[in-house]
Chains A and B, each alone.
Chain A
Amino acid sequence: MPDLASSRRPRSGERGRLIATHTVLIVGGLVMLGPFVWELLTSLKPFGETTQNPPTILPHHWQLSNYSKVFQSLPFGRQFLNTVVMTVGRTLAQLVFCSMAGYAFARMRFRGANVLFGLFLSVLMVPGLLFLIPQYVLLERLGWLNTMQGLIVPGMFSAFGVFLLRQVFMAMPYETEEAARIDGANPFQIFWRIMLPLARPGLAALAILSALSAWNDLMFPLVVTTDPNKMTLSAGLATLQGEHFTDYSVLMAGALMATAPMIVVFLVLQKQFVQGIAFTGSKG
């Protein structure tokens, strides 16, 4: 419980409570980390050992070759690159498009604004699966199957992003804007030069959320791409499951490799991640 007692040095009762707190947190932490540990251990075992009953905890034979098997089964480097390009492309586009629209909805008046905004919000209520075939048909008409633009373009627009940034702009003071307006700046200039820089925390939050969802997107890349060289990591991982279903050691190695880049980004930028999510919470 929050305790703002003035004394700096923990009293004995307080120390007891801290110990209890750590115990609870460590147990919880083990539950959160457990699957990662098991994933790692399994990925280092030979196949025969994974099907053993009872299971071994530490590998009896350490086998690193499961990782090279992933490289043999998937064009991993290529798929990694695809995923990065897709993630960056979608994220940048969302930042630009959603902030423009979010600003317009927050600060400008135009006919149909409410109806349009309501329609955008309705997208959030619809399960993503419903868009699969219509989007596929559309991409086919455009000749974009198995292409980078096919992977990126539909993900460049986000109803959630518009909503989030509209909230951000609505919370900003009017005064700065007024001054610029009197100076004769047009609405886009005001948005781009003055308001957008102020919206930085909101943009960071959207960037994190949209990067996460692009990186993890599964069904859409799976259906839009057939060529392993055009696939993203999550889709590639799914095909690994199709081909090596029970070779759990290779599967776990692949799962770990596909997840690792995002985990590294998170560890480096953890402050931004945490603030980004917290920011979304406070703006909701």
Chain B
Amino acid sequence: MPQPSDQHRMKGRVRSARPAVAAAVAAGLVLAATGCGSGSGSGSGSKASGGPVNLTYRIWDSTQQTGMQHIVDAFQQANPNIHVRIELVANKEYWTKLQADATAGSAPDVFWMNGPNAQLYESNKQLLALSSNVLKQNGVDLANYPAALNQLYNLGGTQYGIPKDFDTVGLWYNKKLFDAAGLKYPDASWTWQDVQNAAKKLTDASKGQYGILAPPYGQENYYDTIFQAGGYVIAPGGKSSGYAKPEAQAGLKFWSDLVKDGYSPSLKSMTDTFAAQQFESGKIGMYYAGSWNCMEFSKSDTIKDSVDVAVLPQGVKKATVIHGLANVGYAKTKHPAEVEKFLAFLGSKQANEIEAKDSGVIPAYNGTQQAWVASFPNFHVQSYLDELPYAVAYPTSKNTSAWQNQEAAVLAPAWDGGEDIGTAAQQLATMMNTALSKEQ
């Protein structure tokens, strides 16, 4: 069943994968079967001495639950003394709930972490530090994962998470519409100018057809173009905003102009109906979409035979945002040794291979990604991996959501056509600098 991919992007990125009914059903069955449901978190575990140890592993994506369960099964087979229970929390309330849990001192033993929240939990001592000794003992070598991902979960030289998967952004296009307009398909040589030209030619308002979708999303849209223009969102060191710089404003203007010129549906329209879903209607020429959309597009009867994906067009230079989740341990877990063992297994080649096959996300372990590519024979999803050499880490700080929340609020009026994008960017820079100064 078609689902919008964006549903899993919470405020400021977050992985995602689109729910498929089959997976949701499986999830329900698994939960029904395992529904022990004692108190949550570390509190429920038995003492390490003697008997088996119970761990709770919390995730938010129902479509990945089957895959995660397969990994847990493999882990339990190798470690019969450790029992892991998967706990699925609704996406929208995941962070509210985790905050409540951490406040109460009862977060789950192991859980998913994303870039925007990583430093918040790390700097507030909520995550289990993984010293190089611990990593070595458990056979983890960080060199097996893309450096940009390790960096997202490293604060002040200490590693807190082991990368689980990653996503980059690609340019999806509708071949039918391109053919009808007599346009060449996008390729690695494309520039911003090519996108603008194509968007113009593909737009036919009378038919409700638009050249491109330009929603105000950071990860899939303006962060990429800001990096491509040679700008940055947050200065190295994390102390100041890059929005006042002309490069960043160029990156924003690229998108707001597409909306202003009428080559994209209005922001109001994209608020009502998710962008990915609009793309699936077959009336949109181009769409910058994260790798997590592949599964959904491959299932959509309307577009699965008429769309494909290329690398992102370049501005001043080539760039794409890379973000990935990590598995992390809770600082106050009662079973740190078992948690470390489980974390190491989640980061292992074996687990990543299962993930590539069953979860629909790109696994983080280098060399396991081809299984993911092979699972989408109809699309050139290799594009997502081709971008790795110039991928830029998702911008984060100690309290990322404090300024990201304002990003959306400040930029919305500019996207909606009322306000000048330069003014909005200046305003955003000021607000973001205030938020960043509070973090110190």
Residues of A with Cβ closer than 8 Å to B? 47, 51, 53, 69, 72-75, 132-133, 136-137, 140-141, 143-147, 222-223, 226-230, 238-239, 241-247
Contact = CB atoms under 8 A, between A and B. Distances in A.
Instruction: Name the 5 nearest CB pairs between A and B, nearest first.
Output: A140-B104, A227-B37, A239-B90, A242-B90, A137-B104
A131 to B, nearest CB: 12
B144 to A, nearest CB: 32
A245 B272 CA distance: 12
Taking each of A72, A140, A143, which has the highest tally of chain B beta carbons within 10 Å of its own beta carbon?
Answer: A140
A229 B27 CA distance: 12
Interface stretch (B95-103, B322-330, B357-365): B95-103
B21 A72 contact: yes
Contacts of A53: 208
B90 A222 contact: yes
B1 A227 contact: no
Given A228-B35, A229-B31, 14 more contacts: A47-B1, A51-B277, A72-B24, A72-B28, A143-B39, A146-B37, A223-B96, A226-B58, A228-B28, A228-B88, A242-B7, A244-B3, A245-B274, A246-B7
Contacts of A140: 39, 43, 101, 104-106
A242 B97 CA distance: 15
B38 interface: yes
Nearest to A132: B100
18 contacts: A72-B24, A140-B106, A143-B39, A145-B40, A145-B106, A146-B40, A223-B93, A223-B97, A226-B88, A228-B35, A229-B37, A238-B92, A242-B91, A243-B19, A243-B62, A244-B3, A245-B274, A247-B1
Nearest to B31: A228
B100 A223 contact: yes
Given A73-B24, A137-B100, A223-B93, A246 B37 contact: no
Contacts of A246: 2-4, 7, 273-274, 277
A230 B101 CA distance: 17
A244 B24 CA distance: 9
A37 B105 CA distance: 46
Interface string B1-42: 111100100000000000101001100100110010111100
Contacts of B87: 226-227
Taking each of A75, A239, A243, A246, which has the highest tally of chain B beta carbons within 10 Å of its own beta carbon?
Answer: A243
A132 B96 CA distance: 10
Contacts of B273: 51, 246
A247 B3 contact: yes
Contacts of A247: 1, 3
B89 interface: yes
Contacts of A137: 100, 103-104
Contact of A229 (B32, B93, B100): B32
Contacts of A243: 7, 19, 24, 62, 90-91
Contacts of B31: 75, 227-229
B47 to A, nearest CB: 16
A38 to B, nearest CB: 16
Interface string B47-67: 000000000001000100000
A140 B19 CA distance: 31
B108 to A, nearest CB: 9
A227 B31 CA distance: 8
A273 B90 CA distance: 34
B195 to A, nearest CB: 26
B104 A245 contact: no
Contacts of B90: 222, 238-239, 242-243
Contacts of A133: 99-100, 103
A268 B347 CA distance: 57
Nearest to A69: B21
B32 A75 contact: yes
A74 B21 CA distance: 12
B103 A226 contact: no
A238 B7 CA distance: 13
Contacts of B2: 47, 246
B365 to A, nearest CB: 28
A75 B100 CA distance: 25
B131 interface: no
Nearest to B4: A246
Contacts of A145: 39-40, 106
B281 interface: yes
Contacts of B101: 140
Contacts of B58: 226
A51 B89 contact: no
B105 A72 contact: no
B25 A72 contact: yes
A73 B21 CA distance: 8
B130 to A, nearest CB: 26
B431 to A, nearest CB: 24
Contacts of B32: 75, 229
Nearest to B60: A242
B28 A230 contact: no
Contacts of A228: 28, 31, 35, 88
Nearest to B301: A48
Contacts of B3: 244-247
B93 to A, nearest CB: 6
B272 to A, nearest CB: 11
B25 A73 contact: yes
Interface string B273-299: 110010001000000000000000000
A116 B153 CA distance: 50
A245 to B, nearest CB: 5
A246 B272 CA distance: 10
A53 B273 CA distance: 12
B37 A73 contact: no
A58 B19 CA distance: 28
A239 B3 CA distance: 15
Contacts of B7: 242-243, 245-246
Nearest to A71: B28
Nearest to A144: B39
A73 B29 CA distance: 9
Nearest to A133: B100
A28 B117 CA distance: 48
